[in-house]
Structure 1
Amino acid sequence: MDHGKNLTRQAVSATLHCLTGCAIGEVLGMVIGTALGWGNVQTIALAVGLAFLFGYGLTMRPVLAAGVGLRRALGIALAADTVSIAVMEIMDNGFMIAVPGAMHAGLLDALFWTALAGSFAVAFVVTVPVNRYLIARGKGHAVVHEFHGGHGEHH
């Protein structure tokens, strides 16, 4: 049972790590798209692109700091985060689309920020079991575990 708790703890940690990068990109994309008056498709495309960029970037940082070359670090980040970020992005953008008026709300509208926060909560809850499954099989964030040695139980 202890192994199961540890696995869940690793999945929660990996999901929080992934959510951080996704949230940075998602918020930037939604804010930029909304501020520029873009339509849903353009805004979501920008948000998703930035979420992947920041998600991979946060994963690559400690890997690069450990002395791994850029090409290998990118490969590790792609292996570690692609499924997690994809699930997260499907969930949080789907939530934003599903909340009536959220995609058309202005940046000063509480609906925009409430829906965005709710979308991250939904994405987190759905992505934890995905990451748990991947880590249990030595995939996902398990591939970056060795590069986080100085961070205690981070992964």
Structure 2
Amino acid sequence: MNGHEHHEHRSTGLTRQAISATAHCLTGCAIGEVMGMVIGTALGWSNLATIALAVALAFFFGYSLTIWPVLRAGVGLSAAIGVALAADTLSIAVMEVVDNLFMVLVPGAMEAGLTSWLFWVALAAALAVAFVLTVPVNRALIRRGKGHAVVHQYH
């Protein structure tokens, strides 16, 4: 393998890792985001209160999906929490800023209600856009040995 091929192989592997890490992050974020949006919308909460709940739940589920496998690997709770904070905080934060900003910027999406196609299409699109914009963040973190690179030592 020449130098160029080696760089392409490393680059492709890094991108795959970033996509995998972002998909992992998206899973937790989506669970929390959907739950928060559904609860806040169903209860008629303001956009700010609904978004605050969605973000809190996204962080909770995002961190939980990292903490449980690390705990199963035999790491103590406080260390597992530290791993999750190091691995997921920036990724979840970027994803949450992007998807909630998207929801707020789509006219009528937040007010559409749970039975409206606009609400669900906007939420799905918000998560998809957040995924695409978070992959480069995770790629940069993994390249520097941070983010989900920290978690892989426990698998």
- TM surpasses 0.5: yes
- Listed one character per residue, the Cα deviations across residues 76-120 of structure 1 (whole Å, up to 9, x for unaligned) are 000000000000000000000000000001101000000000001
- Structure 2: gaps spanning 5 or more residues: 1-7
- Listed one character per residue, the Cα deviations across residues 29-64 of structure 1 (whole Å, up to 9, x for unaligned) are 000000000000000000000000000000111100
Distance (Å, rounded) in 1 between the aligned partners of 2:111 and 2:25? 26
- Structure 1: gaps spanning 5 or more residues: 149-155
What TM-score comes out, normalization by structure 2 length? Answer: 0.95
Match of 1:15 among 13, 19, 22: 22
What is aligned with 1:116? 123
Runs of at least 4 residues of structure 1 off by over 2 A?
A: none
Pairing 1:98–2:94 present: no
The percentage of aligned residue pairs carrying the same residue is 72
Alignment of 1:61-100 (within 5 A): 61-100=68-107
Q: In angstroms, what is the RMSD of aligned CA positions?
A: 0.4
What TM-score comes out, normalization by structure 1 length? Answer: 0.95
Q: Which has the higher Rg, Structure 1 or Structure 2?
A: 2
Alignment coverage as a number of residue pairs: 148
Pairing 1:143–2:133 present: no
Match of 2:61 among 49, 54, 57: 54
